[in-house]
Chains A and B, each alone.
Chain A
């Protein structure tokens, strides 16, 4: 029987790798029966979503590539391809 400590680890790892069938089935059953672990999964998924929109927001509020840098990059790329 899968307990919450192992389930919580699998919940996190599912965000980083594909769980095997032997891992997925007991976890799914556990999540069906355990509201706490189901909530934990929601929290970790919400956290992932939050980080993505946060990064996008941070990037949007930053200045554009300065003109000087833009020209520098173009020059360097031209030099490299010549």
Chain B
């Protein structure tokens, strides 16, 4: 059993750690998440539908959602949903776009093509309210589903979807201002 555990840590430790660290930006927390992932994996059973790595990363993603739930518990999401809706403001009286969306050209498809867009994207992300950014990235990067996010953050599905749409809209505008077009 120990040999298997050690082998797992050797084989998957790096990839899990890097994923966790990219998401939580804290080395101690990332290490804990990796350890919890292995511990949970040892308790569970491997469904052979996916690869071992995919399965482990799946466990890690759930742990990451738990991590964000635990941190900054006091921040209310209501504020993010109150106030004038930026999306309503994008449409005129006839409910058509005030400013026409344009298809983005030259969207990178690989990490190696990102270049300076990486910095622009990170700046735009940091412009989102913290809690909104966290939930948005859990949806987009960790692929957390509606049910899990609503349960963990006490949101109705509708409110979650409004939150995600606002995040997307704000990012889109920021990226258009600073990169595309």
Contact = CB atoms under 8 A, between A and B. Distances in A.
A12 B161 contact: yes
Interface residues of B, number: 60
A40 to B, nearest CB: 4
B37 to A, nearest CB: 10
Contact of A39 (B21, B42, B100, B141): B100
A43 interface: yes
A60 B87 CA distance: 35
Majority secondary structure, B binding face = helix
A17 B21 contact: no
B5 A78 contact: yes
A12 B100 contact: no
Contact of B91 (A4, A15, A47, A51): A4
Given A46-B104, A51-B141, A55-B141, A64 B96 contact: no
B97 interface: yes
A52 B121 CA distance: 12
Given A8-B87, A53-B108, A57-B114, A13 B97 contact: no
A55 B137 CA distance: 9
Interface string A39-82: 11011101111111111111110111100011011101110110
A55 B19 CA distance: 8
A45 B75 CA distance: 29
Given A8-B87, A17-B146, A69-B17, A77 B97 contact: no
A59 B22 contact: yes
Contacts of A65: 13-14, 16-18, 31, 34
A3 B35 contact: no
A39 B35 contact: no
B153 to A, nearest CB: 14
B97 A59 contact: no
B2 interface: yes
Q: Closest 7 CB pairs between A and B?
A: A57-B111, A3-B95, A12-B165, A65-B17, A59-B22, A39-B101, A40-B101
Interface of A: 3-6, 8-9, 12-13, 15-17, 35-37, 39-40, 42-44, 46-60, 62-65, 69-70, 72-74, 76-78, 80-81
7 contacts: A6-B95, A8-B87, A12-B164, A44-B172, A62-B17, A65-B34, A69-B34
